[in-house]
Each structure stands twice: as structure tokens, then as C-alpha cells.
Chain A
Amino acid sequence: MTEQFRIYSKDAYHIPLSKGQKPPAELALDNYLTFACRHKFCLEVCPVYQVTRNEAHTSYGFHTSLFAIWKGIGNIEELGGTFTHCLQCGACEVRCPNTLFMGDFYKVTQTTIELVRKVRSDLVRAGVGFPGLDEVKKEVEFHLQAISKRDDLMKWTEGLDVQVGGRCDLVLYVSRFTATQATETARAAAKLLKKAGLNFSVIDMPQAGIGEALDIAREDKFVELARKDVDKLREMGAEMVVVVDPHDYFFFRRIFTRIFGELPFKVVFITDVLWQMMEEGRLVAQNEIHKRVIYHDPCTLNKLTNVWESPRKILSKIPGVQFTDEHHIDQWYYCCGNGVSTFKKVNPEIAFTIGQRRIRRALDLGGKTLALGCPHCWDHLTEVKTKSKSDIELINVIEILAQSVGV
């Protein structure tokens, strides 16, 4: 199935691993380039390595493990335990000099996230599996059932008096997770766009938004759902799609474009639009919000799509907010612990520790409120906060702005 779509950037990744067989030489060469680099900048920047101190849980370890199999000193049955220790946060990819200092020149970059997804899927296809696989499969099945339930999926729009579906230049894209688990964020986004006087429509019954499918050899389902949404947005006549969930933003900007080529509409993240509205004077943050705020950069924005300015600018302009800015490059080292897809379901203890460290860091800087840009971070850190009995407030930047604007 994978050969039909460009799921991966590198051709060698499309050749599946099999039990008892050497990986293809082209993949071994790619692995060797990391094994032989010796920089190991991918270690300390990795939030998982910061907890486990196990080199096998890093980009260097993943590439080396595969190279070892090619050298005949390992087998794919051993890979599950290590390849599940990746948040897919992208820190190693961007910190690696192969990407940061040479990637644009040679057009060869570190692609750890794709490698991890490939190996996990290959393990499923080869009948080997990996720890926590059943949990991940359940999550995908849950998503597939949930996207057909209109009452749940579109309930967040009730009482907002916004257009749902139909033709419109500007479309607000809210996928299943935000629509059902972070409804206040979705509602705040819609209210702010409305307050700014923008004529927009909300996508009706979105289907995509399940990155876990790429981890369990269900690439076909991922592509099918993505295509449905892209087709729907095209039929709506969308020229600009405003995305509320950073995970979806990452999918649109990095994965959908690889699979479908250039999209027929522009994709922007919600805070970029809101900041533009503030600059143009169409949104005025007038109510004082007395909070001591630290901003947490979501990995899918900061490391994977390089969006970090607009949330900071918004927070800086809200009256009453005491904003302590942690540099976005420093935050390459951070993650909430949730990960972009399966990590939390497979490694709940490590996910908890990473989240706890992130909250402690915010508290150390004198923060009482941790402002977030991602509903998945909010969901995971809320769990961490409850379990660790912390009194830090967790709230999305969009919701703080909505309070200040008064919607």
C-alpha cells in the first residue's frame, strides 16, 4: 500500500523490513550516516533521553539498531522495545547538523519521525508488533467510529451562530480531538474570528487527524481520511484554511503536501490569523487578565513547522498579563510528554515524568499559568497536573485572548 503514496521522503523507507532478511543497502547507508556522525547532538535535545538516559531511545540509537541488523548482529524482533521510545517531537531532526547546517544544501535531512513510523508499521506488517500496539489500534478504531457521529463531532458549534459547511473562501478546520476534547478552545477560536468580522465557514464532519494510523501500518486509512478532507475543502471553495490543532497543522503542511503535492488552498495556524487581526485593529485585547504566564511551545509548531512568534506576540499584548518568555530554541529540549502520536499510550510513566518536568520548569520561572497552543498538550498536562497535585493553571492562548477581547 505504501508504494502508492509518498508516505516517506526517502525512497528506501518504502521497502518494508522483513523477519530474517537484511534491510536494503540504501536504508543501511542512510542509517550509517547517522551512526558514523558521532555528533550525537540528538541525545540531549531528546525529552525521552533526558529521562531514560538510554542511547537506544534516541535518533542515534534507532539508526544504529537498524545498521546493526544490516551488519548481521541483530534482528527486527528486538526493535519494538526501542522504537516505541520516540515522541516524534522532531527535536533530533532539527538539532542534527545534517538537517540544520546541511539539509537545505544536500537535500538530505534527518528524518527520524518517518523512520520511527516506518519501523513500527513494518513490525506490524511482519507480525512482530511492539509493546502497546493494542492500545494504539484501539485509539485508531475509536477515531474511525467517532468521525461518523455528527452529534458529538459538531456539537461544539452549538449556539455560536456560525456557518457550517457550504461554500466559503475562509474555512475553520477543527478536527475530532479538539472538537470533542477541547471544545472551549474551538469555541474561542470561532468567536474571535467572528468578532474580527471575518466571513468564514466551519468544516462539516472532518475526518482526518489520526497520526497513529501511520504507526500501525494503516497508511491507507490515513491517506483516505486526509483525501476526504482535502476534497471537501476544495469543494467548499476554500482559499485559506485556518487550523486550530497544531497536530493537524503539521499534517497539512508537512505530510499532506508530500502525499498530494501542493494543496489548492493556503493553510495557516489560528494564532497567526488572530495576531494579524490584532495588528489590523480588528481584535482589541481590552480586558485586563492578571496572570503570570509562561508559554509552552507545542512540538508540532515550534520544532516541526516553526510557528512560535504569534502566540508570544498575542500574550505580550494582553493587558495585565505578566509574560515571561522562554526562548523557543530553548524549548526544542522540551515536550509536554504526550508526543505526536502513540508515545503516551505505550510509555505512560515516561510521558508523566516529561510532563512533570515541563510544569516544574514553568513554576521555577515564577509562572502561575502555563499558556498552551495545543489541545493535546493541554489534555496531557492536565492529567499530569492532577496526578502530581500541582496548582498551575493550564489554558490555551486562544482562550486567554478570548477573555481579554470579551467574547
Chain B
Amino acid sequence: MATEFTQFKGTKDYIAATELKNSVNIAINLGRPLLIKGEPGTGKTMLAKSIAEDLGLNLIIWSVKSTTKAKEGLYMYDTVQRLYDSQFGDRDVSNISNYIKLGRLGEAFTSEQTSVLLIDEIDKADLEFPNDLLWELDIMNFYIPETKETVSARNRPIVIITSNAEKELPDAFLRRCIFHYIDFPDAVMMEEIIKVHHPHLEKTIMEKAIQAFYNLRNISGLQKKPSTSELLDWVQALVIGGAKPHQIVHDVPFMGVLIKKNEDIDKVKRQLDIQAGRKPASTGSSFGF
């Protein structure tokens, strides 16, 4: 008989592809961290929230910044505070544990209930950051030398790690993860996603918006392709601005919501003009041979 295992099914405001749900379930049931990569705006961060909601667990988010050190996720020892306190005798300085604060990973380990730990944008931190967390994520405990305590996970947290980068995570780290690359959603999937956020959207606007969106994404050589979250904002703009369906594909009103770079806007406008059979507006050309 097949063993019963935890099943993540997606939530009503988060549409997950079957493949993705599958990967989530594999990671949960094998007890490995799930590394999620994908273009910005494909809902990597939302995934953790959705898992927590669906399985009824609490969510702990550790947002990684360029200055984040691996140790901060475990605990912080506030030496300076302790030194000050020793001078003024405010608190009991002989008890070091008063000055130990657990980080996000530490919190997830000590939580009464199983929690979902999101390590968001791990690639932002220093190159060595993932390697420094290997042991803790593998063995699920860490040692605090100051208090001679070992913090072990009461309940193994479900660890979701997101990354935008392409090549920098170390091999040893990758080997311990389950990996999933969120492919960019296709038009059918996209329609479902939009429906979740704009349930009362007119069908024609929806169709035209999706058509226009994929048309823009297919223009080659854009520095930054528009992403799902930008599409959602744009649909909002279309609704508020009251755009006419027939304009959407060829004129792309409120283009600034989708395309953020000047060079890209010029390129898109030229392409749209060509597609619509209009004479392209001339742009400055450079001097060369």
C-alpha cells in the first residue's frame, strides 16, 4: 500500500502548476529543502505563503540581504549590550542566555508546531552564505558555544529557498536540495492567475491583455521582459483607466506598467508600429560604418 503523505494542493489565491505541487510534495516528504528558481514575478515567494496556508502551518520568513550572514539566522549574541549592562548593573549579566537572540532559523527550530521557513533570495547574500548553512539544514541543529547549548529542531521545518540567480550557488549546497525551476506560465495558466486576482474581468479585456502581454514578451532583445506581477498591475490599470479592448494589443495603453526601461519602450513601440503596419516613428541612429 502506498504510504499516506503530506499533500500540498495549492490555495485559492495561488495557482500552482501540477509539476510545482509535485516538487513541493517530494521535498516535504523527503525532508529536504526545496530550492525554487525562476524569473522574477513568477510567484516564488508566494509559494511559501501558500504552502503554510494550505497545510495550516505558521510561516517564518527570512529575507536575505547582501549583508546577511548565515549566523544571523541561527542566533545573535549581543556582546555590546552585555558589556554595557555589566557596567551599570541593570540586568543579570552572569546569564549569557539573556543576551542570545535566536534568528529566523532558530525560531523555526524551536517552534512548537512544524513551520514553513522561507529563506528568500538566498543569492543576494555573500557567496559563502549557502555553504555556511549546510550543516544546520542537513542535521537540523546548531550549537551555541556561549551557552554550551545545542538547539535542535523539535519539528523539522519545511524549508523553501528562493533564488533569482543563474549560477552561483555552491554544488555541495545544491546536492542537498530538491530543485524546481518555475517555468514562465503559458496563456491558459495565465488566464487562471488573472481570474484569481480580477474575478470580474471582462472576457474580451482578459483575452486581449494576455495576447498583448505574450506579444510583448516575444519581442526579442528586451532587457527586462514583463513579468506576471507586472501583468496583474497592468490589468488593474486597464480596468481603472477604462481601456477599449481594441486598443489593447496594438497601442498597449499604460505601457509603463509593463515595460520599465527606456530602451525597451522604444523597441516595443517600433515593433508595435511594424505589427500594426504603421510607419515607425524615427529614432536617433548612431554614427557608424
Q: Decide whether A and B assemble into one complex.
A: no
